């Protein structure tokens, strides 16, 4: 009789335990092309902010956007934080040191393959299966592809939130602001057409709403 009760209680507990994941997956793309490479130190600030916000079992990856971004080689650092808070802290410290190294050694790329980076981000986060999927793009959002790179394909952003951070205005944007606005609009349409949510955060002092 007692073992039946025990089994019943165990079943009840297992039924009560939540199977819906509560964790967050964050993929941060850092544009290293041309003059935007100078902004990398700002990206470090965002990475550290994200690290301070992320909890155990959350996944975080930082990748660079360069000429060919659809590759694992572009991932600078990635981690799925351990369930134990102390181990998660150690992982965060190691992550921060890898990012620091990247910031110190970052070199400007010739082209900007944002779509490739997004594809890589989607693939990474879909593999991790987190409860919430965030793609952060630290870029001016101006895509420049090298010859031979095909990126005009639909992207599946279902369940993703895409946040463009620090979208700086280019010199040409100052001449014709419509270029800047149309660029952002094009990305918004692309993301929302793919089923995702689009957001732009330019004020890096107000990152509270992020994550």
Partner 1 sequence: MFMTSLLTITPWPVLSAAILLVLLIAALYLARHTAHQAIHAVTSALARGFRLASHSVAHAEERLAARNREVLLAAGRDAKERMVEREFARIADTTRKDLSNYPDMHRRLSEAIIRIEEDQEKAVEVPPEAPGWAKAVEVIAKLDARNAGAEILADIHKSMLKAHAEAMVDYRKASGERHGLLRKMMPDWRLIQETLGRVNKSVASVIERSLVIDRHMQDYETIVHGEDRALSVLSSSSLVHFFVSMLVLGVATAGAAVNFTLIARPMAEMVGGTNFIGVFRTADIAALVIIMVEISMGLFLMESLRITRLFPVIGALSDKMRVRMIGITFAILLLMASIEAGLAYMREVLLQDELATNALLRSDSTGALVNAHLWITTMAQMGMGFILPFALVFAAIPLETFVHSLRTVLGLMGIGVLRALALILRVLGNGLRHLGTLAERIYDLPLFVPLWIEARFAAAHALPPAIEDESLQEVRP
Q: Can you give the binding site for partner 1, defined by CB under 8 A?
A: 13, 16-18, 22-23, 48-49, 51-52, 55-57, 83-86, 88-89, 92-93, 96
Other residues' Cβ atoms within 10 Å of the Cβ of residue 203:
8
Closer CB to partner 1, residue 84 or residue 101? 84
Closer CB to partner 1, residue 104 or residue 123? 104
Question: What minimum distance in Å lies between the beta carbon of 5 and partner 1?
Answer: 17
Closer CB to partner 1, residue 78 or residue 190? 78
Question: What minimum distance in Å lies between the beta carbon of 61 and partner 1?
Answer: 17
Question: What minimum distance in Å lies between the beta carbon of 179 and partner 1?
Answer: 35
C-alpha 141/C-alpha 184 separation (Å) is: 7
Closer CB to partner 1, residue 23 or residue 37? 23
Q: At what angle do helices 40-53 and 85-105 cross, to 10 degrees?
A: 180
Other residues' Cβ atoms within 10 Å of the Cβ of residue 139:
25
C-alpha 3/C-alpha 83 separation (Å) is: 31
Question: What minimum distance in Å lies between the beta carbon of 82 and partner 1?
Answer: 9
C-alpha 147/C-alpha 167 separation (Å) is: 25
Question: Tokens 């991790």 appear where?
Answer: 128
């Amino acid at each position: 009789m007692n073992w039946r009760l025990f089994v019943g209680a165990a079943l009840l507990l297992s039924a009560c335990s939540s199977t819906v994941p509560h964790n967050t997956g964050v993929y941060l793309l850092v544009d290293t092309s041309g003059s935007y490479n100078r902004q990398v130190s700002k990206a470090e600030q965002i990475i550290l902010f994200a690290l301070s916000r992320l909890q155990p079992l959350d996944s975080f990856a930082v990748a660079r956007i360069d000429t060919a971004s659809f590759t694992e080689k572009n991932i600078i650092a990635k981690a799925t934080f351990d369930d134990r808070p102390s181990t998660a802290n150690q992982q965060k410290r190691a992550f921060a040191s890898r990012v620091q190294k990247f910031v110190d050694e970052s070199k400007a790329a010739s082209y900007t393959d944002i779509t490739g980076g997004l594809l890589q981000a989607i693939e990474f986060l879909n593999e991790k299966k987190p409860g919430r999927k965030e793609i952060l793009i630290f870029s001016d959002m101006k895509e420049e592809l090298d010859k031979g790179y095909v990126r005009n394909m639909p992207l599946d952003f279902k369940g993703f939130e895409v946040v463009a951070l620090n979208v700086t205005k280019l010199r040409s944007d100052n001449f014709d602001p419509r270029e800047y606005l149309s660029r952002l609009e094009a990305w918004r349409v692309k993301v929302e057409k793919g089923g995702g949510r689009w957001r732009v955060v330019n004020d890096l002092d107000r990152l509270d709403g992020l994550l």
